[in-house]
Amino acid sequence: MAKGLPKRSEDYSQWYNELVKRADLAEHSAIRGCMVIKPYGYSIWEKMQAALDKMFKDTGHSNAYFPLFVPKSYLSKEAAHVEGFAKECAVVTHYRLKNAEDGSGVIVDPEAKLEEELIVRPTSETVIWNSYKNWIQSYRDLPILINQWANVVRWEMRTRLFLRTAEFLWQEGHTAHATKQEAVEETLQMLNVYATFAEKFMALPVIKGVKTESERFPGAVDTYCIEALMQDGKALQSGTSHFLGQNFASAFDVKFADKNGKLEYVWGTSWGVSTRLMGALIMAHSDDDGLILPPSLAPIQVVAVPIFKQPEQLEAIREKINVIRDAFLSRGISFKFDDRDTQTPGWKFAEYELKGVPVRLAMGPRDMENGTIEVARRDIRDKKTVPLDQVVDHVVALLDDIQANIYKRALAFREENTHFVDNYEEFKNLLDEKGGFIWAHWDGTPETEEKIKEETKATIRCIPIDTDQPEGGKCMYSGKPSKQRVLFARAY
Amino acid sequence: MAKGLPKRSEDYSQWYNELVKRADLAEHSAIRGCMVIKPYGYSIWEKMQAALDKMFKDTGHSNAYFPLFVPKSYLSKEAAHVEGFAKECAVVTHYRLKNAEDGSGVIVDPEAKLEEELIVRPTSETVIWNSYKNWIQSYRDLPILINQWANVVRWEMRTRLFLRTAEFLWQEGHTAHATKQEAVEETLQMLNVYATFAEKFMALPVIKGVKTESERFPGAVDTYCIEALMQDGKALQSGTSHFLGQNFASAFDVKFADKNGKLEYVWGTSWGVSTRLMGALIMAHSDDDGLILPPSLAPIQVVAVPIFKQPEQLEAIREKINVIRDAFLSRGISFKFDDRDTQTPGWKFAEYELKGVPVRLAMGPRDMENGTIEVARRDIRDKKTVPLDQVVDHVVALLDDIQANIYKRALAFREENTHFVDNYEEFKNLLDEKGGFIWAHWDGTPETEEKIKEETKATIRCIPIDTDQPEGGKCMYSGKPSKQRVLFARAY
């Protein structure tokens, strides 16, 4: 057991907090609501970024960078947008400090007041559409397919590392199109990119759907999302893709001349995922001993620990390890040899379990005699001794197997914790006893949605979009007709 | 001539501004002092980032992320530091907007005032050392070798794209060490990384040196820098590496127990380069027709333009181009085939000249008959027709040659514009007539440095550190003794 990590079954929330801290992923800073992402945590985020960035570029997008600050008046141009973000805006009002006259230190210089206050961007639609206005004249200027990697700030009162912080890192795609159809297709394409990323890289099965009106992004016509199930039975929204219609184009007066010279408003989309994905990754797979990382995102995929008493033994082991290290590296696998003599092998085993390294090798005097090496996989308790000259092939296959197994396990967990419910009492009991995903009928009204939320804390995560033949029924709450089941859960 | 770009010889400053705009590198945003980095400009920055990031990791550094906000009190802890940055701080004072009671829109909610104002980071020493305090107890926790890629804000009154903007992108390394020697070595190591990057990737020769006291980073013991010469004879500081001594450790009370259990303050360094490098890259190499990019940093290294009248001709050319494209891609060379029929070949030639694409291929009916292709290099006016089956090898070698030639040309320019001067009148005349780098004797006093700056606008760019046997002499201004020549120039 890794140094007293709390057990998930006893205190899931505390387990998460401690795990994030002990695995050196992140910590709270002294600045309210802002986190420090530590090197090990950041290196996982870098792997996520690299994979996503490639997917964005493969679908024709380019990166760019827009200003951190949003003039207050921009935010106000789209009514729903300002309504949605006004309550969590960090506001810059001055641009200079000066020495206090009483010598007590520096104070904000009252004479250096901005004419218009600047908001630290909570999202960049308004700044970007204000630029697009100058970039778009004709249909020849479309589509614009841009992504930005950036920090954003939403002043949150209750924060949790990765899941909800005042400042977080994310990417935000912002595209502009000549037709509604093209913009809708882009919105769905990026939703699918997110779903593929979650499943292929994060080993995280997700449900794709569209949000109800009350959960929509402020300023969007439709918000699509991917929803994943965490081990405590709560849902986590892991990415959103918004069809903006012509809302921002009309707020910022962005028109283009079509082939016939007719002026039309431009159609828009925006889509984003954030460091919140780190929270999803941690909570979906890890156990009471620490992190479990899918090999696709593990900064160290294979670690080798030597078991030795004498320096000569270490050197003999090192010689063997060097050979396999080179073989791993040439196959694109990240490999670490932990030859420190300041820590015991047992300490190291626990440490790499805590850090979620997918495969741990160990080599001691008996292995040296036998020409073998011990291979332990992190996802299940399984160790095996294999001939040294076969270990590279063995581990390469094993990494694939681990990636697949973690996904399969998460999927099995989700299936076990997904229920079809037609009765509101049963719904409430299920939520209290087990949580999980619940497919239930809903009459389609915001009123019913709100009542259910008030009474149960469960929200409609999404209306699924992959359903071929939606089955009709009656709303479990109002008894009114429902066209299809929607996904309910308590959520992060 | 590319669409009326001003000539360098007539208005260098206007040439630069127009070039940045027309080559789609960046533009001013409507937010005071903040720029938008457009996709083409950003893709060059991404190449810079990738090369630097690898160099940082190869020297043992890891990336991490620290908060955007610096509490006002942190900045004040190091006296020189706050003195240096107070005049350009963007200050967050509130965290919420609300609807105005008169219905006129949103206003800053006066009730949502922060207890302590937050500065948008102008640099992160204070935030990071406040974290290091918790990370460092013993010599075993050292060294800490961390880098951060981030945006920073320094409220500048007069801004120029890339060279001086209120918000800019950069990387900032922050390291902590047990000994002074190790910290000094780190400082110099990173200076050398920057110099190597400038010379190898940017094709930009640089002078390495140490800043005088008056030009030192606020809070540093020593600031090292690399200085490059632009085509208008002005210097551009292209990277700095600071030996912080124990200044931030003592301001934030960061001590470690050495091997004997004795408590000591930790030694620190910080080092950074920014999107300013984009300005250096543009100004060092480009000409009146547009950008000249070194192949190492060019987003598109090779572009092919078909010359055709009929669609069938295009298809025949495409077939040939596809083969060489695959060969280029497999050799890691970025390649673009511009098959648009909406623009003429001539327009495309000018466009890729403007954008600095190192090699442009053209293929028309005669080439199809002869089995040839035209190869034009951007750095010098040179075209050549080569057999199609040799073009890939030819271009691969040509790219290396272009990279070397651009460097050689910049070095020759610097040598022509470097002068050794012993007479103050001559110094002033030279500055007014030609500019350039001037090696001159200085008596080592801030007073003389300040007088020279006032009278000539030239500053001491650095005291060189690569001089084996410094030659002594007399200060050109005061006549007092000088130990070695220092580098003077007017600068950006």
Q: What is residue A3's predicted lDDT score, i.e. its pLDDT?
A: 59
Q: What is residue B362's predicted lDDT score, i.e. its pLDDT?
A: 98
**The two structure tokens encoding residue B237:** 């500081």
User: SS3 for B437-461, per residue?
Assistant: EEEEECCCCHHHHHHHHHHHCCEEE
Closest of B93, B95, B94, B74 to residue B85, by C-alpha: B74
Interface test with B, best of A27, A65, A136 (most B CBs within 10 A): A65
Q: What is residue B303's predicted lDDT score, i.e. its pLDDT?
A: 98
CB pair distance less than 8 Å for B34 and A76: no
For residue B104, give the chain A residue with the closest CA.
Answer: A76
Looking at chain B, the whole-number percentage of residues with pLDDT higher than 90 is 94
Domain range annotation of chain A: 12-71+123-285, 302-408, 418-489
Helix (H, G, I), strand (E, B) or coil at B170: strand
For residue B98, give the chain A residue with the closest CA.
Answer: A86
**The two structure tokens encoding residue B263:** 């408590």
In sequence order, the 6+-apart residues with CB closer than 8 A to the CB of A208 are A191, A192, A195, A224, A225, A226, A462, A464, A465, A466
For the entire predicted model, the pTM comes to 0.97
Write out pLDDT tens, residues A450-490: 999 999 999 999 999 987 778 899 999 999 999 999 999 99
The CA distance from B50 to B48, in Å, is 6
CB pair distance less than 8 Å for B68 and A169: no
Is some CB atom of chain A closer than 8 A to the CB atom of B192? no
User: SS3 for A166-223, per residue?
Assistant: CEEEEEEEEEEECCHHHHHHHHHHHHHHHHHHHHHCCCCCCEEEECCHHHCCCCCCEE
Q: Which amino acid is at A202?
A: M
* pLDDT bucket at B1, cuts 50 / 70 / 90: very low
**The two structure tokens encoding residue B185:** 């070595």
User: Across residues B69-74, what is the average pLDDT?
Assistant: 96
Is some CB atom of chain A closer than 8 A to the CB atom of B311? no
Residues of A with Cβ-Cβ distance to B90 under 8 angstroms: 69, 92, 94-95, 118
* pLDDT bucket at B466, cuts 50 / 70 / 90: confident
The CA distance from B206 to B228, in Å, is 5
Interface predicted TM-score (ipTM) over 0.90: yes
Q: What is residue B2's predicted lDDT score, i.e. its pLDDT?
A: 45
Helix (H, G, I), strand (E, B) or coil at A441: strand
The CA distance from B13 to A485, in Å, is 64
**The two structure tokens encoding residue A243:** 């069809």
Write out pLDDT tens, residues B344-385: 999 999 999 999 999 999 999 999 999 999 999 999 989 999
Give B330→chain A minimum CA distance, Å.
17
Q: What is residue B136's predicted lDDT score, i.e. its pLDDT?
A: 98
- Contact predicate A109/B89, CB 8 Å: no
Residues facing residue B481 across a β-bridge: B474
Helix (H, G, I), strand (E, B) or coil at B11: coil
Residues 67-96 of A with CB under 8 A from B: 67-73, 75-76, 82, 86-96
- Contact predicate A125/A248, CB 8 Å: yes
Q: Which residue has the tokens 């984003």?
A: A272
The CA distance from A277 to A296, in Å, is 14
**CATH assignment, B418-489:** 3.30.110.30
Q: What is residue B269's predicted lDDT score, i.e. its pLDDT?
A: 98
- Contact predicate A129/A248, CB 8 Å: yes
Q: Which amino acid is at B483?
A: K
Give B306→chain A minimum CA distance, Å.
21
* pLDDT bucket at B316, cuts 50 / 70 / 90: very high
Q: What is residue A471's predicted lDDT score, i.e. its pLDDT?
A: 87
User: What stretches in chain A show pLDDT beneath 70?
Assistant: 1-3
Residues of B with Cβ-Cβ distance to A68 under 8 angstroms: 34, 120, 151, 153, 167
Report whether the peptide linkage leading into residue A306 is cis, meaning its omega lies within 30 degrees of zero: no
For residue B106, give the chain A residue with the closest CA.
Answer: A76
Class for domain B12-71+123-285, per CATH?
A: alpha beta
Q: Is the pLDDT of residue B158 over 90?
A: no
Residues 333-352 of B with CB under 8 A from A: 342
* pLDDT bucket at B3, cuts 50 / 70 / 90: low
C-alpha dist (Å) from residue B120 to A389, B248, B434: 55, 19, 40
The CA distance from A482 to A331, in Å, is 53
The DSSP call for residue B41 is H
Residues of B with Cβ-Cβ distance to A108 under 8 angstroms: 72, 91, 93, 117
Q: How far apart, in Å, do the first and last CA atoms of chain A sit? A: 27
The closest CB to that of A67, out of B34, B64, B99, belongs to: B34
The closest CB to that of B36, out of A35, A117, A131, belongs to: A131
* pLDDT bucket at B253, cuts 50 / 70 / 90: very high
CATH fold for domain B302-408: Rossmann fold (3.40.50)
The CA distance from B174 to A24, in Å, is 18
Q: Which residue has the tokens 């009190």?
A: B73
Residues of A with Cβ-Cβ distance to B108 under 8 angstroms: 72, 91, 93, 117
Looking at chain B, the whole-number percentage of residues with pLDDT higher than 70 is 99
For residue A50, give the chain B residue with the closest CA.
Answer: B50
Residues 95-124 of B with CB under 8 A from A: 95-99, 105-106, 108, 117-120
